Amino acid sequence: MSILVVQIPERTRLRAQSPVEGEGAPSGRGTEYAYVTSPDGLLLDKQGECAAALLPRAATVIAQLADANVSWHRVTLPKAPQARLRAALVGVLEEALLDDADAVHLALAPGATPGQPTWVAAVDKAWLRAELAALEKADVFVDRVVPSSWPDDPPSGHFAETQADGDGTTQGIVLHWAHSDGVAGLRLQGGLVRALVPRPAPAGTRWSATPGAASAAEQWLGMPITVMSRAERSLQAARSLWNLRQFDLAQRTRGARALRDGLRRLSSPQWRPVRWGVAALVLAQVVGLNLWAWQQRSTVEARRVAIRNAVKAAFPRASDLDLQRDAAAVMQREVQAMRTLAGKAGDNDLEVLLAAAASAWPGDRPPVDNLRYENGRLSLAAAGWSDQQLTQFRSLLQPAGWQVDASEGRLTLTRARPGGRS
């Protein structure tokens, strides 16, 4: 899985300057970023410096903060729910923070356990949010934010040249000293570094230096030292378990990022044949569906014409307008008229309904004492019928196409229509 490590430029510190110098001062966000790519996080692939929009694409993007941009605090992790953990941390660190609590972003060490001592990293929230937003604006979505060094045991010391001032002069060599009590950036000039870094160093101390600082570091230590470029140190930081994207800066746009990356790849020139193929496939599906619908409509219309012709042939007196509206109703009406002329009872006549009711009438029930017939509906008095008798009466008539409704001591018998509706 490819990895891109982006080095966030060190935040500009306030310094004494004249009012003229302060006008139009830069915000501190660099327009170019040093970067490192790796296929697996171990091997160095490419490195360089470019604008955010020109950064290489990778499956995982890691932002690396300079040592001076992170402060460290040792606390006992409060036992609080995740939703209130940051507020609990602010209460513990309130006197240790040099800025307003809302202006500071806090992050816990990996594997922090409630009730146990742990390290908390503090970063200027507005600055870090602005840096992440600048990268996201260029479609570079940061998955993790890591420090360059962190409290560790055994200790480690890395020597590096300081950044040049605006007038082009350098400020010497700085030792980034990371140990079990915190992280400090110490200039080799003066006695402070001698006082804070024990000599001899604790056993297992790891020393390294950038190529430009190696000579001075070896002279100061009096021993050979491992040369580590800025790119190699970036990969080392990326391999740590730290992730400063916590609490309100936690990564929540993984799905949106994947969708946006997919759409961007799909719109690239390399995917033009695929786009044409998908468009042709969609067009073929639309044309095919329309042809199928046209064929179905033609089949249905042909069947309707056949039915109308058959009814017209059987009943020549039927009007063409009535046939177009409902050929089935015309056929039923004509058959009923012919049955009436022949003196035969129709399906919904009183005689047929009475015969059906008599065929299913329970043997232990007396004859019906009153009935009512209206428009193919026969209503019979059924006071005192048991549920078993009603069920038997209904089950005997349903197979013959009759529907029986029981309500308020009466039975209503009607011819069932298709679908079970009377």
> Where does a domain end: 341, 359, 383?
341
Residues 335 and 371 reside in one and the same domain: no
**8 A C-beta contact, residue 353 and residue 360:** no
Residues 68 and 117 reside in one and the same domain: yes
Give one DSSP letter per residue of 165-226, joined into a string. -TTS----EEEEEEETTEEEEEESSSSHHHHHS-SSPPTT-EEEE-TTTHHHHHHHHTS--E
Does 142 have pLDDT greater than 70? Answer: yes
Q: What is the mean pLDDT of the chain?
A: 83
Residues 172 and 122 reside in one and the same domain: no
Give a yes or no: residue 233 inside a domain: no
What is the pLDDT, as a whole number, of residue 51? 92
Q: What residue has token string 């209130």?
A: 84
Residues 134 and 34 reside in one and the same domain: yes
Strand (E) positions, 148-225? 156-161, 173-179, 182-187, 206-209
* 340-347 mean pLDDT: 66
Residues 101 and 248 reside in one and the same domain: yes
Give a yes or no: residue 235 inside a domain: no
Measuring CA to CA, which residue among 113, 47, 107, 127 is closest to residue 80? 113
Token pair recorded at residue 274: 């695929």
Residues 205 and 303 reside in one and the same domain: no
Residues 85 and 184 reside in one and the same domain: no
Domain count, the chain: 4
Max Cα distance, the chain (Å): 130
* Boundaries of domain holding 212: 151-228
Does 287 have pLDDT greater than 70? Answer: yes
Residues 54 and 134 reside in one and the same domain: yes
Does 220 have pLDDT greater than 60? Answer: yes
What is the pLDDT, as a whole number, of residue 22? 38
In this structure, how many other beta carbons lie within 10 angstroms of the beta carbon of residue 107? 24
Residues 58 and 112 reside in one and the same domain: yes
Does 268 have pLDDT greater than 70? Answer: no
Token pair recorded at residue 163: 């950044």
Name the pairing type of β-strands 144-147 and 117-124: unpaired
* 159-170 mean pLDDT: 63
Q: How far apart are CA 110 and CA 118, in angstroms?
A: 9
| CA 177 and chain centroid, separation | 41
Residues near 158 by Cβ (< 8 Å), separated by ≥ 6? 149, 175, 176, 178, 207, 208, 209, 210, 228, 233
**8 A C-beta contact, residue 409 and residue 382:** yes
Give a yes or no: residue 421 inside a domain: no
pTM beyond 0.75: no
Question: Strand order in 410-415's β-sheet?
Answer: 371-374, 377-381, 410-415, 402-407
Does 225 have pLDDT greater than 70? Answer: yes
- pLDDT band, very low/low/confident/very high, at 183 (cuts 50, 70, 90): very high
Residues 95 and 129 reside in one and the same domain: yes
> Where does a domain end: 341, 361, 390?
341
Does 58 have pLDDT greater than 50? Answer: yes
CATH number of residue 100's parent domain:
3.30.420.380
